[in-house]
Amino acid sequence: MRKNIKKEQQEWLRLWCDDTKDALLPRVALIGDSITEQTYQVVKMELERIAVVDYFATSYSISSPTYRKMLKAFASDTNYDVICYNYGLHGEDISADDYELNYFKSLKEITKSAKTVICLTTEVRCKNELDKVDEKWEKIVKERNTRAIKVAKKLNASVVDLYELSVKLGKYAKVTDGIHFNEAGIEQIGKCKAKAIKDILNKEKA
């Protein structure tokens, strides 16, 4: 292993590009982690006959050179009308400054490949008993969301607050790991993403 590269305990990558020869509908991409993958089908159904939806989901650290290479390769392969971007629940050991710097690098790369970028704040993380917030991660998530919004403003990206939505949904939308969402939660998070995408596509039509 090369020195000074921060590795995750498990590193995985899954992506899907749908109907790649469809040139009639707008094309959008969801970029994030396992929650992005969870909500993909809901977004796809909500945008049926409106847009083609791709996704890129990974556990790699945002500070990893490998992550940025993969992200660049995915984003630059297609001209997107809208990209929804999230990163927040991986790379526990990344400092706030390091997170902000690498979030900026990632977002700047993405903006080259999309007419519009939506930054999604990171959802609340609970303890396994679900009725308590994970205090350690709560501090990390809130700081990262603050930094992400700062970068989004700097690069003229819009922001959708999934953190507040996840807080409102509460423990009844989570599964027992305290991170991922159950069917009801997936539907609400997915519909929120889809609505934000629809709003932007409708503005582009006007």
Calpha distance 67→73 (Å, rounded):
10
pLDDT for position 27 = 97
pLDDT at 139 over 90: yes
Q: What is the pLDDT of residues 37-55, one digit of tens each?
A: 999 999 999 999 999 999 9
* Side chain identity at residue 90, one-letter code: H
Calpha distance 122→110 (Å, rounded):
18
3-class state of residue 92 by DSSP: coil
Question: Which residues have CB under 8 Å from 115's CB, separation 6+?
Answer: 80, 81, 82, 204
Calpha distance 85→44 (Å, rounded):
16
* Side chain identity at residue 163, one-letter code: Y
Per-residue pLDDT band at 81 (split at 50, 70, 90): very high
What mean pLDDT is predicted for residues 19-38? 95
Residues in a beta bridge with 76: none
Calpha distance 158→9 (Å, rounded):
32
Q: What is the pLDDT of residues 91-101, one digit of tens each?
A: 888 999 999 99
Per-residue pLDDT band at 192 (split at 50, 70, 90): very high
What mean pLDDT is predicted for residues 76-89? 96
pLDDT for position 7 = 83
pLDDT at 111 over 80: yes
Q: What is the pTM (predicted TM-score) of this model?
A: 0.94
pLDDT at 204 over 90: no
CB-based burial label for 9 (10 Å; 0-12, 13-18, 19+): exposed
Residue pair 116/81 in contact (Cβ under 8 Å)? The answer is yes
3-class state of residue 180 by DSSP: coil
What mean pLDDT is predicted for residues 116-126? 95
Residue 3: CA atoms inside 13 Å, Cβ hemisphere, count? 0
